[in-house]
Amino acid sequence: MLAGRTIIVTRAVERAGGLTSLFVDAGAKVLEIPVTTTVDALDGGNALQTAIDTIEQYEWVVVTSPEGAHRLREAMALLDASPRQFKIAAVGTATAAALGGADLVPKVQTGRSLGEIFPSGSGRVLLAVAETAGTDFEVAASNKGWTIDRVTCYRTVSITPTDVRSVEISQADAITFASASSARAWHDVFGVIMPKVVVAMGPMTASALSELGIPDVVVATEQSLQGVVNATVEALASR
């Protein structure tokens, strides 16, 4: 499907492997240029662990990114094996997959969309997010009666790639972005230098790219790693 094509993967280095493998399986050559990495929250994860230790007080646990899902799952690994009493909501299919499944996932991968379909209630919700995550879900759920405990479980920081030449970037066939933070970090380093085909995992990432002056962004129909690959294949097939 992608034989002879070179695809740039900008995902954080610790999470790039899965997407890279899918592209390689599709026949592509992959150029990994991570522009972000994830680090612990400033409190070292104490707030998240405290919330997990009192997980029985929550009716819902909500996660808005795959990285948050990974960290939540690691923190919950030490819980006993008794059936969970809370439900899980994820902002998209990739986040749900990282959790091992979710009870509620919106069709459009945004906090606003998740807030729109979230049920009304009066209990407590644990919201595990990145330090710079937006408040769309939080506002919507609060307006529906819920008490939201927002916990920062990680931070995304920019990194500057080394030994990357502009010519390598411009000669690639496509570039993929899995988050708005990676789009902004790329722009900080390389500006608008990128291949003609630009693929975003979800609408929030596409919106960030548009705001940065990147036109004609392809948005994956299925907001998952496989969805990014499928969207890339489809976009390049017409070129």
pLDDT band at 170 (very low <50, low <70, confident <90, very high): confident
Mean pLDDT value across residues 91-111: 89
For the segment(s) 46-156, the CATH number from 3.40.50.720, 3.40.1390.10, 3.30.1490.150, 3.40.50.10090 is 3.40.50.10090
Evaluate whether 6-35+159-237 and 46-156 have a shared fold: yes
For 187-212, the pLDDT digits (tens) are: 999 999 999 999 998 888 999 999 99
| The two structure tokens encoding residue 237 | 């097939």
Least confident of 74-83, 118-127, 189-198, 224-233: 74-83
Average pLDDT over all residues of the chain = 91
Domain range summary for the chain, segments of one domain joined by +: 6-35+159-237, 46-156
For 73-83, the pLDDT digits (tens) are: 888 886 665 56
Helix (H), strand (E) at residue 125:
strand 124-130
Mind giving me the DSSP string for 138-183?
HHHHHHTTPEEEEEEEEEEEE---SS--HHHHHHSSEEEESSHHHH
- Whether domain 6-35+159-237 has CATH 3.40.50.10090: the reply is yes
* pLDDT score of 13 more than 90: no
